[in-house]
Amino acid sequence: MNPTPLNEEIVLDPKRYIVSETDKKGKITFCNDYFIEVCGYSKEELIGKPHSIIRHPDMPKVVFKLLWETISQGKNINAVVKNLAKDGRYYWIFTEFESRRDTDTGEIIGYHAARKSISKHVIEIIAGLYAELLEIEKMEDIVASEKYLVNFLKDKGDDIEFANIMEEIHRFY
């Protein structure tokens, strides 16, 4: 069971990356020291667990839907994510997701994520957008929240690809 979220933010070191790797299903196969330090779980508690162990309830479902749709096709994607630490505190990060491939066959064998801290300004904008998406998911469904997200991006420009959504948000503000 995840802990009850506390309304307290973990201040991140802007110079350090929080890194993890998963298998094809999203089970954690590797995490670096800073990952462990920030989330508060031990390596033993993390390895082999689904990555959703640090999922924060403020995250809308549609973000993970688009994440999985993109990386499972072998495309990279960036996303702003709010995570939940073991003690219930939270931290916002900008995450670069990539697929890991078998060097011989080229087949996807898992995924890699490298995360860095982001500015307060971007957090405020994304937190507002995510709150709206979450509300839509509660009142309606994920189809409606995806539609909202696509329209939000259409307002920003014509040729924005779904896979680049977060990068575009980052760039526009």
Residue 113 interacts with ligand FMN (CB under 6 A): yes or no: yes
Q: How far is the CB of 115 from ligand FMN (least distance, A)?
A: 7
CB of 62 to ligand FMN, least distance (A): 11
Candidates 52, 72, 73, 119: give the one binding ligand FMN (CB under 6 A): 52
Cβ proximity of 149 and 65 under 8 Å: no
Q: Which is nearer to ligand FMN, 64 or 162 (CB)?
A: 64
The verdict on 16 binding ligand FMN (CB under 6 A) reads: no
CA distance 112 to 26: 10
Exactly one of 78, 83, 117, 164 binds ligand FMN (CB under 6 A); that residue is 83
Here the tokens at position 70 are 């993109």
Report if residue 51 touches ligand FMN, rule: CB under 6 A.
yes
Nearest distance from C-beta of residue 41 to ligand FMN, angstroms: 12
Report the amino acid identity of residue 9: E
Residue 81 contacts ligand FMN per CB under 6 A: yes
- How far apart, in Å, do the first and last CA atoms of the chain sit? 36
Amino acid occupying residue 115: R
List Cα–Cα distances, 96 to 77, 78, 99, 116, in angstroms: 6, 4, 10, 9
From CA 170, how far away is CA 48, in angstroms rounded? Answer: 32
Contact positions with ligand FMN (CB under 6 A) in 54-73:
54-55, 59, 64
Q: What is the size of the binding site for ligand FMN (CB under 6 A)?
A: 15
Phi and psi at residue 97, to the nearest 5°: -100, 135
Binding site for ligand FMN (CB under 6 A): 20, 22, 26, 51-52, 54-55, 59, 64, 81, 83, 97, 111-113
